[in-house]
A and B are shown apart, each in its own frame.
Chain A
């Protein structure tokens, strides 16, 4: 099995606060890996380090999409996205006032080859590219079931659909590694089950490796092949779902100790 993402001895400090302490993780290609932990455990911090929002205080992150290792810690978020890492956000960050279609269209922008002048003059090379982008965007919208709403403003969509739109937008960047920050937040059990199936489907269809943060244990235990458990910035457990469920430290972290 090839390692897609390697986080080595990563420490992230904010002044005196240690948000993540000496975190290590290897994520194998083609897997769905979960990251869980109580609130404030440092899960989103790890996502922010991987996607370049933060530069780790110590350690490094290595991304290996196709047998070439890239050290991505220290790169800008847009450079990391170009290499093939894309994400969704815990508190949805859509381009609110733009249409649903435009949101996905913009996800394609990083792969565009025409320059700005051929886009203004609408030269044949650009027109061809735009047609392909449009076709792909419409396909992705159909895939997430938002084709009907393509001309609506993104902020007018109900919550669950906004989450799906965020995934469609992330998929538009052609990622190899997709990071989902609480994809099932605010969903009812029925919606969660649909989401699980959806994640499994896109993983196969787009040949993805998925790293996700989630609080719904049903989702995490249902689809993750490997789980990392974080508490107060420390990795306290790692393993397959059964091992995690029976791990004493995990139970203590979630329920507290007498």
Chain B
């Protein structure tokens, strides 16, 4: 695809659409990426991003990250900050239905040589202990009252109940529990949908992968060593999932509520109903913020329970405790959120609400909220590639101010699911992957075909673009040897 004429190139990796392009745009829309990446973006990205630029109270720029593709409301990879003190809104469409969809990375002291002969048994055990697929549930048996505690306390609830290690909390964004979650703001339907889904992967592009760090894929060995990546061909575990049906229902509930009050009560008109919003400082905005935080916590807890089962699976297969296997977390990062943060806007420090939809935070060294042990390094960012190509550990950069310290979250789709299914067949792909040393278990062969590597952009190019744009820099690259595909 050619890049539309309205998109002007500002630098090698920065592009802009001026506010004059569309009525109601309050700020310019900016896209980070190389020419090649922009050419792979569908036109709807530019349309959706310029809609985002019309949000009441938006400041700076409406941003799209290099892995961006069209979504609903915001494009995936969309980042936008609003100023609540000046009527700035909160929009569920700027966060996504899968609130706090995110990535978690765990290291082990095992090597490829030790794991490869047992990979089938290991992946089969993970497949058994971590439920995946349509409506998956049952990994953690809790009552609804317990679930209400869990959504207010996040990973803390899990660790207190024996599902994890105290250090896991420090290594999770928001220490695994965001302040201000209020269970009074969530519906019965949300509870019904979520209370039996804690510890489950879901489906679509959600997965759990066993990966290897080959020596040639370590970009900075002293940095990598700070994350405990210091053995050639070391094995790590990475997984991708969110707040399951609970978060989906919270987003749906408030999308409907905002739609009913947006125009009538607040006089806001949006071009896309999916961008329904309300001022953060309004009863509806405040309630959604508190409910969304419950979903953030539910996702942290979800990944914490999955981690517990991952440790159990490794322990079972290798007949050693998770402690003996050195299964420490590297980090847990969210890429579907809205958070109040302080940023420099026109040289003034302002508290703004940063929406990130398909974009992780990538704080620079020294910034608040970083785990003490990473304070001098910067925030670890985990980027999941396609099942076939590989994934990355990056670090936030001090040049990332303009994007509110955000970066890419994955390789980003370049092909629709239906098109992918016409090109690849699940069973054939499964065999091909096995032949290439990647053992896959999946709840859905059709879904597997939709997630084929060729349906995604080139992860290396996405990471390179974030580096050149000064948003993040790579520490290590991981290649898969086993995958549980949801």
Interaction A to B? no
